[in-house]
Amino acid sequence: MYQLEETYYFYLLVIIPVLVIGFLFLSSWRNRIQIKYISSDLLKVLSPNISTFKPKIKLLFLILFILFSTISLVNPKIGTELKTVKREGVDLVFAVDVSKSMLAEDIAPNRLEKAKRIVSEIINNLNNDRVGVIAYAASALPILPITDDYSTAKTFLQSLTTDMLSSQGTAVLESINLAKEFYDDENQTNRVLCILSDGEDHEIENKNITEIVKNSGITIITIGLGSIKGAPIPLKEKDIVKSYKKDQNGDVVITKLNMDLLKNIANSSNGIYINGVNTELVVQAIIERLKEMDKKEFESKQFVAYKDQFQWFIGFAILFLSLELIVFEKKTFWVKKLNLFNE
């Protein structure tokens, strides 16, 4: 089996017929001029060292140089070995809070953009793990099912906005219940849910959060975004702040980080709570936690491993170029004695 990587370089082979046509035209023109002004016998007397064969040899070497150089640029690959791939990792679902409170700018540039940046950096540091994405506010919405396509995951991640869910609020339990449907096996020990939120959920106060989270069978890592002091929620037009969100009494709403709720969720599921201020520390803590967890084999498949072969063609190209440079059009003294070409 073989594979050609950059086939458009084959267009360079057009140079070869151009060279041949040019060589034939030049040889024909030169022969006509010689016949017109001087006889062949006299030419041999005046220029005894001129070879009629070596120019053709030099042309052949030049053609072979172009041919092998072109093939090396195409980079042919040959499949030579069969490999069995076993991928082991963790199923990691990100639940990103997209409620309006995530627009607060007490963490730069705002809480939602910080959440997306953290998730993107975590994905960059994953190896064989699979990821999924959930967006939630007053309800939870599946954005991307479990996948090992990291580039697609980051594309869907960047599409998250606070306008994608019309109902507002922060339904943490909705995201946990939805996450259960993302995993293949309820008995697997590597189910991880990473919740990125400011933790403002007023509906959860009257519910037994500890029992609900424990029974989920999911390890939950919570990342707190925002400050305890809080910040107003800006209302912008074309990236310019026009006003701030107000309550029914006309007072500016101050949204604060509910660290206690996020810690309670994490502790109830044998997970960890991380403050989201420092992206690097968050990523490091999560990657270290994932390394400690049991790994599940996701798939085993066989494929042909292609090996680059361009180096061989580069070697031949250099060889023929060297020969073209060291072969002169004049007759070689010792070859002349042998008279191999009857010249």
pLDDT digits (tens, 9 = 90+) for 111-155: 999 999 999 999 999 988 899 999 998 888 999 999 989 999 999
% of the chain with per-residue pLDDT over 90: 40
Give the integer Cα–Cα distance in Å for 192 and 215. Answer: 14
Does 282 have pLDDT greater than 70? yes
Burial class (CB in 10 A: 0-12, 13-18, 19+), 296: buried
Minimum mean pLDDT range among 184-193, 241-250, 251-260? 184-193
What's the predicted TM-score (pTM) here? 0.62
Domains, the chain: 2-75+309-338 (no CATH), 86-300 (3.40.50.410)
Q: What is the per-residue pLDDT for 151? A: 92
* Distance between start and end Cα atoms, the chain: 47
Residues contacting 133, CB < 8 A, separation 6+: 93, 94, 96, 119, 143, 144, 153, 156, 157, 160
Residues 190 and 88 sit within 8 Å (Cβ to Cβ): no
Structure tokens at 146: 């479990």
pLDDT digits (tens, 9 = 90+) for 23-66: 899 888 877 877 777 766 666 666 666 667 778 888 999 999 99
Q: Please give the order of strands across the beta sheet that includes 76-89.
A: 2-4, 76-89, 296-308
Helix axes 279-292, 111-124, angle to 10 degrees: 50
Residues contacting 240, CB < 8 A, separation 6+: none
